[in-house]
């Protein structure tokens, strides 16, 4: 039976080596070291540049459309926003906002920590999102 045990170990080792050689999808962590052009230091081992990164909408500035209803017109009576007191405008009236396009400023900045997904083969990394706040 020792030959069978040795054979099983050899087969397991060969299978493990084959999977590692294929470089399957892997979760990695990194830190943004430059914003423009983007550079991310991955697990303190290597720096990835723009050509190696695929940025999701979670980590880029993007435009989107929103719809707002009627809003009461108020004005600031003093102090600094967001805690500034307000008072209604006289005579009272409302504004219909409707559908507008806004820009969501969600781009990466130096120091952001990110979670990445390495594509199979290891040539490209998908930046999924920031870590933490």
Domain membership flag for residue 83: yes
Average pLDDT over residues 47-75: 86
Check whether 125 has a pLDDT greater than 90: yes
Whether residues 80 and 68 fall in one domain:
yes
Please, are residues 116 and 29 in contact by the beta-carbon 8 Å criterion? yes
pTM of the model: 0.63
Total domains present in the chain: 2
Residue 133: per-residue pLDDT: 63
* Geometric angle at alpha carbon 56, from 65 and 27, rounded to 5°: 150
Domain hosting residue 40, numbered range: 25-61+105-133
- Based on the fold, state whether residues 57 and 80 are members of the same structural domain: no
What's the pLDDT score for residue 127? Answer: 96
Q: Give the dihedral of Cα atoms 3, 5, 9, 11; nearest 10 deg.
A: 70
Mean pLDDT of 30-54: 93
| Average pLDDT score over residue span 10-29 | 79
- Residue 1, pLDDT > 80, answer no
77 part of a folded domain: yes
pLDDT at residue 71 in the model: 64
Pair 94, 111 in one domain: no
Please check whether residues 77 and 96 belong to one and the same domain.
yes
């Amino acid at each position: 039976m020792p030959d069978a045990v040795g054979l099983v170990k050899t087969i397991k080792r060969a299978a493990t080596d084959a999977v590692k050689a294929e470089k399957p999808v892997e979760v990695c962590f990194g830190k943004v070291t430059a914003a423009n052009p983007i550079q991310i230091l991955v697990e303190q081992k290597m720096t990835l540049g723009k050509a190696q990164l695929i940025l999701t909408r979670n980590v880029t500035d993007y435009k989107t459309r929103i719809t707002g209803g009627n809003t009461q017109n108020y004005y600031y009576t003093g102090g600094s926003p967001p805690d500034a007191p307000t008072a209604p405008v006289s005579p009272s009236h409302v504004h219909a906002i409707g559908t507008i396009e806004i820009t969501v400023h969600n781009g990466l900045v130096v120091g952001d920590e990110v979670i990445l997904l390495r594509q199979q083969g290891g040539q490209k990394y998908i930046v999924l999102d920031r870590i933490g706040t």
